[in-house]
Amino acid sequence: MQLKDKLDLGFIKDKAQLIRKIVFFVLRFIIVAGIAYVLFYVSSFLRIFHNSPFIPTSVMTMLLTIMLVISTFACTSELIKSLYMAEDNQVLVTYPISANRIFLSKIIVFYLYEVYKNFTFSLPIFIAYGMISPVNWFFYIWVFISFFVVSMIPVVLGVVLSIPGFFITRFFAHYQILKIIVFIAILSGFIYLLVRLILLIPAEINILHYWGPIKVLLSDVTNVFQNYFKAVYYVVIMVVGKYDITMKYTYLNNEVWLVLLCLVGILAALFMAAYFLARFIFVKMTSTSFEYEKRFRLKALLNRRLPTFLSFVRKEIRLLFRTGQFTANFIATYISIPLFILLINQIFSSMDLYPNGQFAVQAFNILIIMLPLLASNSTIATIYSKEGRTAYMKRTKPVEIVFPLFAKLIPNIVFSVASLLASLYIFNAHMHYLSSNIILLAVALVLIQVGHILFCALLDLMNPQNEQYATAGEQISNPNEIKATVFAFITSFLVALITLGLLVEEQFMPYQSFNYAFLKILLLSAAFFGVAIYMFVAKIKAYYYDRIN
């Protein structure tokens, strides 16, 4: 039952859907393995590791370490929520089975999900490694079996780490201010380090000249992983076999059996130790959850009358910050775009390019600013539907419907425009445009961004999915979201291509004075925005008023 919740196994009953899923799974497997094989082949051809055409085991140690660290973090965070804070716990304990079984079933679900994830990503990479290395046929059987053991590692570590994780989460839940301060401090520290790292990029990049040091650095890094992550190295030799002194792989020799037994033993011991403690917390949380429920402090507030639109905007901002979801999206998109622009411009500014290269860099910057921004607008295409059945409350309010509908878009418009302007500021710090040119470009891109937000909102208005969200929750595959993403890609590429065309036509160089290319871009953007706002208002009228009448 829980597996169905996590993996959406509805396709098993439908034969056509089952075949489609299997075909997609196999295709994905082949694509990942193919990409990995090409990368290994290129590394081998260019003799990246130790000037040798052979891929050493240390490379796999590095890859597996990174994958295990990411999986362990993901498992820990998910397990904290699923084991101790999930709302379904209180329903599950009413079933005629023991709390122990519920607890174990939750962990098994995580384990099966981890197996699924590994079979779609990590395993194809190992298969590709096998194809490029002198492994024998046994590897292709053994690798499948061994990944059932490898998948246990992040889950067991996740169960162990979820115990302190739970106490930390609870501590921060009680001290919200402290949580915000710590969060901002970590985020600021991370951004600061990232910026410092990006600024370390040398002023002159010549890949051919730096090729030697890059190869040495890469070889050294993989060796660091092999020397300092011995545990993972042993897991790798358990999976791919041990390179013996005749440079052939040996499987299931005494050393591998020892590694396998040690691994299973350590995981079992860790799991048992964590099991008793975590189970105790789990049972306590499910049976006495009310103790931890938030106690609201009631405070009388004077009801202040605000202008209608402002009231709705205030409500939206409150709703937004009540859940952590927006924060994650905010970081993933709005903060990362300016950082990414800094990175690519730092790389480009260290290249000595011909004029055609300068045009390409400018157009590419616009593409990279617009693509993630517009793609993140796909969430706007679900914004009204996510309200579920409560969405109809909007109709009951004695105000123009455009107020609540538009107010819902305001936070995204404000944050995305701020991110856009920050990105353009960084872009201009490298390009040194004249102010009139950069202002025209900024206004043009803001108009495209806001116009795209309105188009995405329109998709949701015209094809609402409220019922699906009300019944199936957030996990549905929303057609509007897919359309919005495709539209984002088309728009970004068109904007970048048109900009490139206009820049080439006007032969614009960054240091030049006012240029008509930017005026033309602005006019096109204004037309796009005009159409968006006209359609937004017209469709609201059609879908909310005309339908009622």
Partner 1 sequence: MKKSVILIISTLSLVAIILIGLLFQRAEVYNETIYVQKVVCTSIRIGDDYYDTFWNERSQRYLVENPEEPEKEAPLLFIDQLTIDVIYEIQPMDASTQTVTFSTNSDVSIASIEEATGRIVFYKPGIATFTITANDNNNESAKLKIRTKTLDG
> Helix, strand, or coil here: 298?
coil
Cα end-to-end distance, the chain, whole Å: 45
Whether residue 55 contacts residue 49, with contact meaning beta carbons closer than 8 Å, is answered with yes
Q: Which tokens sit at 363?
A: 């157009």
Q: What is the full DSSP assignment across 31-52?
A: HHHHHHHHHHHHHHHTTTTTT-
Backbone φ and ψ of 250, nearest 5°: -115, 140
Whether residue 403 contacts residue 309, with contact meaning beta carbons closer than 8 Å, is answered with yes
Q: State the nearest-atom distance from the C-beta of 320 to partner 1, in Å.
A: 17
The tally of CA atoms less than 13 A away on the side-chain side of residue 162 is: 33
Q: State the nearest-atom distance from the C-beta of 275 to partner 1, in Å.
A: 32
Choose between 28 and 179: whose C-beta lies nearer to partner 1.
28
Choose between 245 and 302: whose C-beta lies nearer to partner 1.
245
Task: Tell me how far apart the alpha carbons of residues 241 and 136 are, in angstroms, rounded to a whole number.
Answer: 10
Q: State the nearest-atom distance from the C-beta of 427 to partner 1, in Å.
A: 14
Choose between 216 and 538: whose C-beta lies nearer to partner 1.
216
Q: State the nearest-atom distance from the C-beta of 114 to partner 1, in Å.
A: 17
Choose between 176 and 356: whose C-beta lies nearer to partner 1.
356
**Binding residues vs partner 1 (CB under 8 A):** 50-54, 56-58, 205-213, 215-216, 223, 226, 233, 237, 242-248, 329, 332-333, 340, 344, 347-348, 351-354, 356-358, 360-361, 364, 367-368, 371-372, 375-376, 378, 485
Q: State the nearest-atom distance from the C-beta of 38 to partner 1, in Å.
A: 13
Beta carbons within 10 angstroms of residue 489's beta carbon: 13
Sequence letter at residue 3: L
Strand partners, 249: 243
Choose between 17 and 477: whose C-beta lies nearer to partner 1.
477
Radius of gyration of the chain, Cα coordinates, nearest whole angstrom: 28
Whether residue 333 contacts residue 417, with contact meaning beta carbons closer than 8 Å, is answered with no
DSSP label at residue 288: S
Q: State the nearest-atom distance from the C-beta of 402 to partner 1, in Å.
A: 28
Q: State the nearest-atom distance from the C-beta of 335 to partner 1, in Å.
A: 12
> Helix, strand, or coil here: 488?
helix
Q: What is the full DSSP assignment across 190-233?
A: HHHHHHHHHHTS-S---HHHHHHHHHHHHHHHHHHHHHH-HHHH
Sequence letter at residue 257: W
| Nearest Cα residue to 80 out of 150, 152, 171 | 171
Exposure letters 172-192 (e unless 16+ CB within 10 A, then b): eeeeeeebeeeeeeeeeeeee
Residue 250, H or E segment: strand 249-250
Choose between 92 and 417: whose C-beta lies nearer to partner 1.
417
Strand partners, 242: 250
| Nearest Cα residue to 407 out of 521, 320, 523 | 320
- Long-range contacts: 178-183, Cβ < 8 Å, 24+? 183/327
Backbone φ and ψ of 249, nearest 5°: -85, 135
Q: State the nearest-atom distance from the C-beta of 81 to partner 1, in Å.
A: 19
| Nearest Cα residue to 509 out of 376, 386, 362, 388 | 362
Q: State the nearest-atom distance from the C-beta of 215 to partner 1, in Å.
A: 8
Strand partners, 243: 249
| Nearest Cα residue to 282 out of 95, 99, 108, 105 | 99
Q: State the nearest-atom distance from the C-beta of 333 to partner 1, in Å.
A: 5
Choose between 164 and 357: whose C-beta lies nearer to partner 1.
357
Choose between 211 and 534: whose C-beta lies nearer to partner 1.
211
Whether residue 229 contacts residue 65, with contact meaning beta carbons closer than 8 Å, is answered with yes
Q: State the nearest-atom distance from the C-beta of 459 to partner 1, in Å.
A: 16
Q: State the nearest-atom distance from the C-beta of 120 to partner 1, in Å.
A: 12
Q: State the nearest-atom distance from the C-beta of 98 to partner 1, in Å.
A: 37
| Nearest Cα residue to 373 out of 501, 494, 525, 485 | 485
Q: State the nearest-atom distance from the C-beta of 250 to partner 1, in Å.
A: 10
